Chains A and B, each alone.
Chain A
Amino acid sequence: MTELPTSTDRKMGLVIDLDTCVGCHACVISCKGWNTENYGAPLSDQNPYGADPSGTFLNRVHSYEVQPEKGHAQLIHFPKSCLHCEDAPCVTVCPTGASYKRVEDGIVLVNESNCIGCGLCAWSCPYGARELDLAEGVMKKCTLCVDRIYNENLPEEDRVPSCVRTCPAGARHFGDLGDPSSDVSKLVAERSGMDLMPEMGTKPVNKYLPPRPKDTVEEEIDILAPLLAPVAEEPKGFLGWLDKTLEKF
């Protein structure tokens, strides 16, 4: 049934550090690479080599510019995937029971063999986390790499979501956000992790760490300036003659 569990044993999710993300899109590529050949239907592309390519992705990286009242504008790279909400509207709207939230770890999944591809779950998601695959006609979403994190055939360091394993900047963290003593929970507490669109009432499990405040300089202090005074003097001799002569033309 698409009734949400009243509580889940654990709240597995991601913590994304907006201070550290460099916007390289490696997580996007590794996500597509892993998920197109593992859990469920492949992530298809339409017209991939044509004039108007498009395809199914479970993770996309936006870039935003923030212009504060004072000071310089700041560019912030913003990876976005399913937030595995505690009060996930995509689960309760599902007419077939294909969408569900797991009691054991809180992961939101789609049973693709029951999905009719009506698209209503994507309509109900404020974050754009669900995309209907055009080739398969079923809804695709982030599985938190459910086929990696418990997979004992993989070396232990690989038992994290593909995006987390790939991130070269260490901007993505994975863990149990329901356990206050976990590393990710401590990180969220320390850095004031935030929810996206809290007014939607979805109670996202994934948290975003805001960029750290930038240093501000009250007045221009330049200790090297005296040493860098221009040393150009009036040219003399042949160069002086050349300079004057060329000025005439």
Chain B
Amino acid sequence: MHPAPSVIIFTTLSGLGFGLLFFLGLGLPVVTGMVAFVFYAIAFGLAVGGLAASTFHLGHPERAWRAFTQWKTSWLSREGVCAVAALLVMGLYAIGAVFLGQNWSALGVLGSVLSLGTVFTTSMIYTQLKTIPRWNMKLTPAMFLSFALAGGALLAGQVSIALPLLAVAALVQLAYWKYGDDALAASGTNLGTATGLGDRGAVRAFEPPHTGSNYLLREFVHVVGRKHAQKLRVIAFGLGFALPLVLLLLPFESTMLKHTVAGLAVLAHLAGVAASRWLFFAQAEHVVGLYYGKR
């Protein structure tokens, strides 16, 4: 799949933003006034910024409101509805915390559930696609959810929660790569089933329909970016999970130093997740590539 910057920015930033909102809604930490303002500014900035980025790849962004209508069948629509509901509920909760010094915990818990629900619905947009075996796995929502929770705990400054969550996210990441690499072969789809000619012999794409490129090849067959996949996996894993874990485990006495190191951990995690998300798209093989003798 073509790793479009808009979807990578969207899933990376909004995942982190909704992860932070999840912990803020649960009162981890309970914040009011100016401190709450800063926390919510970061959370809403990430969540809304990510959602805004996702509209950049639309052919007609001015009609985006229509995407809220088909929640009965469409995961993309469900995600839109869930995101707006989460932002509205957490917006109210934030107003209470920032301006009124209140902690309306029932509202916060509802906002937390909706925030996590938004991450889940985002992941299901990809998971539902049988055409992309690497995404069509239970590990895809597990990965989106574990990344959002680990990043959210990290940003919320919940070190004792962030440590195990980072470890879990790291394991999910490794499992996703391991099973993802075999997913296309395991799906049983190949040029033989694609053409229905497989039982007659070995099928080979002899001539493409045209000499130039087309929308399908640009969107679904992204071979160039896979060259450095192994190196990028090391970078994604190192920055996303290993480095933040090491930084959190370092014994520092001064609060100032602790905050700096935590900030570094967040930035490293963000860069690692972005690299992982780039691979998520670039390495995904759409079965339509088979018709062109590519994957």
In the complex, which residues of chain B have a beta carbon less than 8 angstroms from the beta carbon of A1? 70, 72-73
In the complex, which residues of chain A have a beta carbon less than 8 angstroms from the beta carbon of B286? 123
- Assess the A200–B188 pair: CB atoms within 8 A: no
User: Which of A52, A128, A131, A139 is B212 in contact with, Cβ under 8 Å?
Assistant: A52
- Assess the A200–B204 pair: CB atoms within 8 A: no
User: Which of A97, A124, A194, A201 is B196 in contact with, Cβ under 8 Å?
Assistant: A194
- Assess the A114–B189 pair: CB atoms within 8 A: no
User: Which of A53, A96, A210 is B66 in contact with, Cβ under 8 Å?
Assistant: A96
- Assess the A120–B196 pair: CB atoms within 8 A: no
- Assess the B58–A64 pair: CB atoms within 8 A: no
CA distance A91 to B219 in the complex (A): 19
Count chain A CB atoms within 10 A of each CB in B61, B70, B220 and give the residue with the most: B70
CB of A118, distance to nearest CB on chain B (Å): 6
User: Which of A94, A197, A198, A210 is B74 in contact with, Cβ under 8 Å?
Assistant: A94
Q: Which of B44-52, B129-137, B164-172 touches A?
A: B129-137
**B-facing mask of A58-71, CB < 8 A → 1, else 0?**
00111111111100
Number of interface residues of A (CB under 8 A): 69
Count chain B CB atoms within 10 A of each CB in A67, A126, A136, A194 and give the residue with the most: A126
Per the 8 Å Cβ criterion, residues 77-101 of A in contact with B are 78, 80, 89, 91-98
CB of A59, distance to nearest CB on chain B (Å): 9
B255 within 8 A of A: no
- Assess the A66–B200 pair: CB atoms within 8 A: yes
In the complex, which residues of chain B have a beta carbon less than 8 angstroms from the beta carbon of A194? 196
Per the 8 Å Cβ criterion, residues 54-101 of B in contact with A are 57-61, 63-64, 66-70, 72-77, 80
- Assess the A115–B60 pair: CB atoms within 8 A: yes
- Assess the A64–B206 pair: CB atoms within 8 A: yes
In the complex, which residues of chain A have a beta carbon less than 8 angstroms from the beta carbon of B60? 115-117, 137-138
- Assess the A120–B131 pair: CB atoms within 8 A: no
CB of B73, distance to nearest CB on chain A (Å): 4
In the complex, which residues of chain B have a beta carbon less than 8 angstroms from the beta carbon of A74? 200-201
How many residue-residue contacts, CB under 8 A, span A and B? Answer: 194
CB of B34, distance to nearest CB on chain A (Å): 38
In the complex, which residues of chain B have a beta carbon less than 8 angstroms from the beta carbon of A199? 187-189, 193
CB of A164, distance to nearest CB on chain B (Å): 19
In the complex, which residues of chain B have a beta carbon less than 8 angstroms from the beta carbon of A2? 70, 72-74
Consensus secondary structure, chain A interface: loop
A75 within 8 A of B: yes
CA distance A236 to B81 in the complex (A): 98
User: Which of A3, A25, A116, A138 is B67 in contact with, Cβ under 8 Å?
Assistant: A116
A76 within 8 A of B: yes
Residue on A with the closest CB to B208? A62
CA distance A76 to B194 in the complex (A): 14
CA distance A114 to B69 in the complex (A): 11
Residue on A with the closest CB to B218? A54
- Assess the B197–A210 pair: CB atoms within 8 A: yes
- Assess the A95–B77 pair: CB atoms within 8 A: yes
A143 within 8 A of B: no
B246 within 8 A of A: no
- Assess the B66–A97 pair: CB atoms within 8 A: yes
Q: Could you pull out 15 A-B pairs where Cβ atoms are within 8 angstroms?
A: A25-B209, A28-B209, A57-B214, A61-B209, A64-B195, A92-B73, A95-B66, A96-B67, A114-B66, A123-B131, A127-B288, A139-B59, A197-B287, A200-B131, A200-B189
Beyond the given A63-B205, A96-B66, A122-B219, could you list 10 further A-B residue pairs with CB under 8 A, ordered by the A residue number?
A63-B207, A65-B203, A68-B200, A68-B201, A89-B129, A95-B70, A116-B64, A128-B216, A200-B130, A210-B197
Binding site for B on A (CB under 8 A): 1-3, 18, 25, 28, 52-57, 60-69, 73-76, 78, 80, 89, 91-98, 114-120, 122-128, 131-132, 134, 136-139, 194-201, 208, 210-211
